[in-house]
């Protein structure tokens, strides 16, 4: 007899009434992930360091008849991260999903980059991930009903690049941290995975999308899929990893590079 339940299949991608915290929600990817979760029926809490931008996004959600909660803070600062988690849990009753979508880079040759600049990258892209994930996991463990942690890493986590000594190191560490956290948290029913995207369109990367530019043409040589990324390309993977459909998947670093890793 085929062992698959109709009810499971019909509901396996549902996020209805789940409580999701999205960091970096003022960025292109974080905003898209948060909105996708809300469209799927999740109750979302948006966080970032810029309260004004968070308020603008909340107003944008309202135009689409979507609700959300917002709270500003820096996930690299433990007291801020604690405040964010406590707000989400007290405001919405629990925390089921954490989507880490924040990040930072300042490309420089190692001979030119100061130790302080390198440390800023590591704090933004690695320490902050550890802090917000640890505190989110602690809240999920208290609830005794499992949870999902999805972390934005990068195609650069496994391939170095000139001028990216800080960024590549932080993302490589992030991937290994995901695997280690997944091992720690599996007994509590919490899965931990990363999404590893290639370059995608945002306010910061728009200049790369000029199809006549040498930068764009060079990227295409390394992307078998034949184009750079759009935020919509990653929303499905985040939603899948947040849903019951991915319950058996943990410790994964998921290739979202348009074929770059395999080229």
Please state the domain count of the chain.
Answer: 1
Ramachandran bin of 41, using left for φ above 0, alpha for ψ from -120 to 50, beta for the remaining angles: left
Q: Quick one: pLDDT at residue 91?
A: 97
Q: Quick one: pLDDT at residue 204?
A: 84
Q: Quick one: pLDDT at residue 218?
A: 87
Mean pLDDT of 158-180: 95
Residue 208 maps to a domain: no
Residue 2 maps to a domain: no
Q: Write the pLDDT tens digit of every residue in 240-255.
A: 999 999 999 999 999 9
Reduced to 3 states (helix: H, G, I; strand: E, B; else coil), residue 98 is strand
Q: Would the pLDDT of 139 be above 80?
A: yes
Q: Would the pLDDT of 21 be above 80?
A: yes
Measured CA distances, 178 to 75, 148, 207, 252, 254 (Å): 17, 12, 31, 8, 11
Picking from 56-60, 104-108, 187-191, 219-223, which range would have the lowest pLDDT averaged per residue? Answer: 219-223
Residue 116 maps to a domain: yes
Residue 154 maps to a domain: yes
Residue 158 maps to a domain: yes
Q: Quick one: pLDDT at residue 159?
A: 87
Q: Quick one: pLDDT at residue 262?
A: 83
Q: Would the pLDDT of 219 be above 90?
A: no
Residue 223 maps to a domain: no
Q: Quick one: pLDDT at residue 208?
A: 86
Q: Quick one: pLDDT at residue 243?
A: 98
**Which CATH number belongs to the domain containing residue 68 in this structure?**
3.40.50.720
What is the pTM (predicted TM-score) of this model? 0.96
- Domain coverage including residue 94: 12-202+231-262
Residue 122 maps to a domain: yes
Mean pLDDT of 219-234: 92
Rounded CA separation 129/191 (Å): 15
For the chain, what is the mean pLDDT? Answer: 96
Residues near 59 by beta carbon (within 8 Å), at least 6 away in sequence: none
Residue 256 maps to a domain: yes
Q: Write the pLDDT tens digit of every residue in 50-106.
A: 999 999 999 999 999 999 999 999 999 999 999 999 999 999 999 999 999 999 999
Report CA 77 to chain centroid distance, whole Å.
18
Q: Which residues are known to be catalytic?
A: 167
Task: Confirm if 16 and 39 have CB atoms less than 8 A apart.
Answer: no
First vs last Cα of the chain: how many Å apart? Answer: 42
Q: Would the pLDDT of 263 be above 80?
A: no
Report CA 29 to chain centroid distance, whole Å.
8
Q: Quick one: pLDDT at residue 104?
A: 94
């Amino acid at each position: 007899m085929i062992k698959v339940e109709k009810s499971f299949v019909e509901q396996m991608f549902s996020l209805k009434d789940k409580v999701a915290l999205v960091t970096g929600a003022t960025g292109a990817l974080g905003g898209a992930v948060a909105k996708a979760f809300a469209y799927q029926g999740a109750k979302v809490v948006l966080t970032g360091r810029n309260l004004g931008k968070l308020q603008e996004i909340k107003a944008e959600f309202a135009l689409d008849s979507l609700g959300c909660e917002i709270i500003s803070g820096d996930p690299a600062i433990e007291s801020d991260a604690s405040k964010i988690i406590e707000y989400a849990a007290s405001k919405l009753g629990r925390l089921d999903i954490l989507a880490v979508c924040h990040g930072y880079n300042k490309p420089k040759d190692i001979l030119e980059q100061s130790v302080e600049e390198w440390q800023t990258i590591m704090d933004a892209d690695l320490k902050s991930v550890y802090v917000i994930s640890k505190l989110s996991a602690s809240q999920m463990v208290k609830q005794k009903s499992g949870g999902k942690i999805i972390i934005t890493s990068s195609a650069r986590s496994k391939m170095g690049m000139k001028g990216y000594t800080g960024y590549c190191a932080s993302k490589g560490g992030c991937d290994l941290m995901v695997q280690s956290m997944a091992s720690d948290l599996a007994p509590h029913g919490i899965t931990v995975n990363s999404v590893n995207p290639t370059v995608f369109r945002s306010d910061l990367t728009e200049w790369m999308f000029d199809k006549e530019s040498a930068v764009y043409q060079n990227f295409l040589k390394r992307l078998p899929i034949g184009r750079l990324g759009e935020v919509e390309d990653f929303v499905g993977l985040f939603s899948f990893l947040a849903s019951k459909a991915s319950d058996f998947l943990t410790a994964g670093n998921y290739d979202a590079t348009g074929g770059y890793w395999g080229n």
